[in-house]
């Protein structure tokens, strides 16, 4: 544990690697990241048919992470996922969560999931729920209306702990009701619709469908609602190849001149199409056709998560230097292992910079490239600082790239925030680590999920100083 004095706030925290990283749902975990007529169940003890058949509906569009199940407004009798699971939640504890977007806000009735044989256990949009609201009904539970879910995006968690049914929206408790007589056992659980009724509305998407055999507590809901869990090969890296063309490029190894700077953009869609996902990148390869033996001094590779689509000039801010030293090109897939791994966030595009600064020149080392207009910006010259070039121009051919991504693992940060003067707990202080956010409870405690490159704890509350504390 580490204690840091933050002026008038004191923060106590403990960093626990991987506490939630392995907690995929026990029963069902559909990611909807592979198009086709089936969907794989990535749960730790998957129930039902695996993979489950997708009938009438399609997988595509944009979900919470990658693609999603797309609604069409058709009848559930022919537009549905039959999980093959004979619903058996019984009277035990459980959690069901799902990401929703594109929901209509009217009183027309659209069903999302359920089992007619489980005491009519079901979830629907509109109808008795009201415009833009969800309603969980049946199974011996009291009706639970979740307000203002349309149009989204919204992640909804339903939890049952034997005494209460609760609904969370985007990690925050929305509504709850006392419930102690649930009896949810049926004949077949379906997703995307219910019985023969109208299923998901046209234009809507459903993603990250999770069913647990336990009730997640508020801390775990808050920590995982916006995190893709590590189902399947949770630690196995994948190789991402961008570009298959054979057009010869002199850049980025433009050693016919003393100095060169090249920036190369790869889109999120391209990475995902090549099998990539959010995670750690620790190398970069280029497909070298012919190699010159000259050493590139002052050689650097930099990277950043980039929100733009077509750079109109060199980008000079927000870089992470992943390699600095020298390099000599070699024929084939020429690899550079990073000194510092880089975390791709899975939502942004990815921008690379390769540059060097020599005092002599020889011939170019050429690489294979593929037509990709507006995705490469380059400049070369003599007697300058290659990594500091400010001019350059766009090139229509992008060098082919290859790199490995290792799925990111999570970690849990837990601690207490107190008043440094009185020693009393601070209630309602905001604690942020990267994109994760929570507030301290009555005893000043907090718990939230961190990602691989999150290293700063940000703590704030009105009337107190805002402060940032690094992990140590």
For 468, the enclosing helix (H) or strand (E) is strand 467-470
Is the CB of residue 212 less than 8 Å from the CB of residue 25? yes
Whole-number pLDDT of residue 20: 37
Output the six-digit token pair for 120: 């009519």
**E strands along 71-227, which residues?**
80-82, 88-90, 94-101, 110-115, 121-125, 134-138, 141-146, 154-160, 164-169, 172-178, 184-185, 190-191, 205-212
Q: Do domains 28-224 and 238-407 have the same CATH topology?
A: yes
**E strands along 382-455, which residues?**
393-399, 401-407, 411-419, 430-433, 436-439, 445-450
Task: List all residues 6 or more positions away from 232 whose beta carbon is below 8 Å from its beta carbon.
Answer: 40, 42
pLDDT tens, the chain, 472 aa long: 233 334 455 555 554 433 334 468 999 999 999 999 999 999 988 999 999 999 999 999 999 999 999 999 999 999 999 999 999 998 889 999 999 999 999 999 999 999 999 999 999 999 999 999 999 999 999 999 999 999 889 999 999 999 999 999 998 899 999 998 678 999 999 999 999 999 999 999 999 999 999 999 888 888 888 888 864 434 567 899 999 999 999 999 999 999 999 999 999 999 988 888 778 899 999 999 999 999 999 999 999 999 999 888 999 999 999 999 999 999 999 999 998 888 888 889 999 999 999 999 999 999 999 999 999 999 999 999 999 999 999 999 999 999 998 865 555 667 788 887 788 888 888 888 766 777 888 778 877 666 544 457 788 888 777 766 665 4
Cβ burial of 419 (10 Å; 0-12, 13-18, 19+) is: middle
Whole-number pLDDT of residue 190: 97
Whole-number pLDDT of residue 411: 58
Output the six-digit token pair for 428: 């309602």
Domains of the chain, by residue range, sit at: 2-19+416-470, 28-224, 238-407
- Does the domain formed by 28-224 have CATH 2.60.40.420? no
- CA–CA distance from 419 to each of 6, 9, 153 (Å)? 9, 5, 37
Is the CB of residue 400 less than 8 Å from the CB of residue 244? yes
Q: Which CATH class is domain 238-407?
A: mainly beta
Report the Cα–Cα distance between both ends of the chain, in Å, rounded.
9
**Could you count the other beta carbons within 10 Å of the beta carbon of residue 178?**
8
Helix, strand or coil for residue 110? strand
Whole-number pLDDT of residue 410: 53
Whole-number pLDDT of residue 10: 58
Is the CB of residue 369 less than 8 Å from the CB of residue 398? yes
Cα–Cα dist 210/57, whole Å: 19
Whole-number pLDDT of residue 1: 28
Is the CB of residue 87 less than 8 Å from the CB of residue 184? yes
Is the CB of residue 168 less than 8 Å from the CB of residue 149? no
**Would the pTM count as exceeding 0.85?**
no
């Amino acid at each position: 544990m580490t204690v840091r004095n933050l002026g008038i706030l004191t923060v106590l925290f403990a960093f626990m690697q991987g506490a939630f990283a392995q907690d995929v749902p026990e029963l069902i975990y559909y990611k909807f990241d592979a198009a086709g007529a089936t969907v794989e169940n990535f749960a730790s003890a998957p129930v039902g048919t695996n993979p489950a058949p997708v009938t009438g509906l399609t997988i595509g569009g944009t979900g919470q992470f990658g693609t999603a199940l797309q609604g069409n407004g058709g009848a559930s009798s022919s537009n549905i996922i039959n999980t093959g699971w004979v619903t058996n939640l019984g009277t035990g504890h459980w959690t069901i969560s799902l990401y929703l977007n594109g929901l209509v806000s009217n009183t027309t009735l659209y069903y999302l999931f359920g089992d007619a044989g489980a005491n009519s256990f079901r979830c629907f949009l509109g109808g008795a729920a009201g415009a833009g609201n969800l309603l969980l009904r049946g199974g011996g539970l009291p009706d639970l209306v979740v307000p203002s879910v349309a149009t989204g995006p919204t992640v909804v968690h339903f939890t049952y702990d034997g005494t209460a049914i609760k609904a969370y929206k985007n990690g925050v408790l929305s509504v709850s009701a006392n419930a102690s007589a649930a009896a949810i056992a049926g004949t077949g659980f379906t997703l995307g619709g219910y019985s023969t009724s109208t299923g998901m509305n046209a234009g809507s998407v459903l993603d990250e469908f999770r069913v647990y055999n336990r009730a997640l507590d508020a801390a775990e809901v808050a920590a995982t609602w916006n995190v893709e869990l590590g189902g399947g090969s949770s630690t196995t890296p994948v190789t991402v190849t961008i570009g298959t063309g054979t057009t010869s490029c002199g850049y980025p190894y433009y050693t016919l001149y003393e100095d060169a700077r090249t920036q190369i953009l790869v889109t999120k869609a391209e990475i995902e199409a090549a099998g990539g996902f959010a995670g750690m990148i620790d190398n970069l390869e280029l497909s070298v056709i012919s190699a010159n033996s000259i050493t590139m001094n002052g050689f650097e590779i930099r990277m950043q998560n980039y929100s733009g689509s077509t750079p109109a000039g060199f980008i000079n801010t927000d870089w992470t230097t992943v390699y600095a030293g020298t390099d000599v090109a070699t024929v084939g897939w020429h690899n550079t292992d990073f000194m510092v791994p880089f975390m791709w966030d899975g939502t942004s595009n990815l921008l690379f910079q390769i540059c060097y600064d020599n005092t002599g020149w020889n011939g170019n080392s050429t690489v294979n490239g593929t037509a990709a207009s507006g995705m490469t910006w380059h400049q070369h010259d003599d007697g300058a600082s290659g990594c500091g070039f400010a001019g350059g121009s766009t090139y229509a051919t992008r060098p082919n790239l290859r790199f490995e991504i290792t799925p990111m693992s999570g970690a849990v940060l837990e601690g207490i925030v107190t008043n440094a003067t009185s020693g009393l707990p601070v209630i309602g202080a905001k604690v942020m680590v990267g994109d994760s956010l929570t507030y301290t409870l009555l005893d000043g405690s907090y718990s939230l999920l961190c990602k691989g490159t999150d290293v700063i704890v940000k703590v704030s509350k009105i009337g107190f100083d805002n402060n940032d504390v690094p992990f140590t």
